[in-house]
Amino acid sequence: MDHFKNILAETKDGILYLTINREDKMNALNFATLEELREVFDTVLEDKSIKAVILTGAGEKAFVAGADISEIAELNEVNARKFAENGQEIFSVIENCEKPVVAVTNGFTLGGGCELAMACHMRIASANARFGQPEVNLGIIPGYGGTQRLTILIGRGKANELMMTGDMINAEEARSLGLVNHVLPSKEEALAKAEEILHKIMSKAPLAIGMVVDCVNAVYRSDENGYQTEANSFARCVKSGDYKEGTSAFLEKRKPVFKGE
């Protein structure tokens, strides 16, 4: 990941910290940044030393202020579809990552930035975060899954309002709508909250965590019976060593030590 130009990547205590690093452009997502995101999430799945991911933006002003408008301005009907499908595919990889992924959002979290945050498993915001889908101001709509994920997260009425007006909402409103899990006064405190949650998750059985991700996502896969997926995953859990460890530890009144197998 040393060759990345737009993303800083650093692993500490099992957490991979990914920082979108285009501060002079409000961390706008250009094609190159998206491709780096794709590459990094391939690594996340394979690298056993990475147990969880925190995704954030460089500086205090923005998490990500959207897709890079200088690239959007060059689209035609054929490559616009590919543009949307490509972004959707990468965000879907993030959403389906079997290791927990938390977005820590600070400042402007707009357009593709809001869509990126929504593809993560949870969102923790600093008080200065501003959320919105302002694409209508450019004559377009969200194309990286935003019309779907925003509606799922906050409901049809509010999603329509945000996407039709292009208005921004503040962090507290985002929390009250269910778009954000927690709001902390500063970015540092938001990062600390994400670390606290992730360290708790990392003490649990990793296979079970991955199955929670998959079963929750099954709710949104229209061709699938999520209850069946849940029953199948539940059955797979009991084949794992972690199941034996978890149940034995409870009965022996000790803390479990999970190995992810």
Can residue 70 be called a binding residue for ligand COA (CB under 6 A)? yes
Name the residue with tokens 């600093």.
126
Binding mask 84-113 for ligand COA (x = CB under 6 A): ------------------------x-xxx-
Can residue 65 be called a binding residue for ligand COA (CB under 6 A)? yes
Neighbours of 129 (CB within 10 A): 31
Which residues in the 18-37 window bind ligand COA by CB under 6 A?
25-26, 28
Which pairing describes strands 7-12 and 130-132: parallel, antiparallel, or unpaired? unpaired
Can residue 150 be called a binding residue for ligand COA (CB under 6 A)? no
Positions annotated as catalytic residues are 115, 135
What's the min distance (Å) between Cβ of 213 and ligand COA?
27
Which pairing describes strands 7-12 and 15-20: parallel, antiparallel, or unpaired? antiparallel
Can residue 183 be called a binding residue for ligand COA (CB under 6 A)? no
Cα dihedral value 124, 126, 132, 137, nearest 10: -140
Q: Please give the single-letter amino acid code of residue 120.
A: C
CA-closest candidate to residue 24, choices 70, 78, 86, 55 = 70
Q: For 57, phi and psi rounded to 5 degrees?
A: -115, 150
Can residue 55 be called a binding residue for ligand COA (CB under 6 A)? no
Question: Considering only residues 36, 95, 115, 135, which one is a binding residue for ligand COA as defined by CB under 6 A?
Answer: 135
Binding mask 201-240 for ligand COA (x = CB under 6 A): ----------------------------------------
Q: Name every residue whose Cβ is closer than 8 Å to that of residue 77 and which is 6 or more positions away in sequence.
A: none
What's the min distance (Å) between Cβ of 169 and ligand COA?
14
C-beta of 119 vs 197, nearer to ligand COA: 119
CA 252 to chain centre: 37
Q: Report residue 107 as tokens.
A: 């400042």
Q: Which residues bind ligand COA (CB under 6 A)?
A: 25-26, 28, 65-70, 72, 108, 110-112, 134-135, 137-138
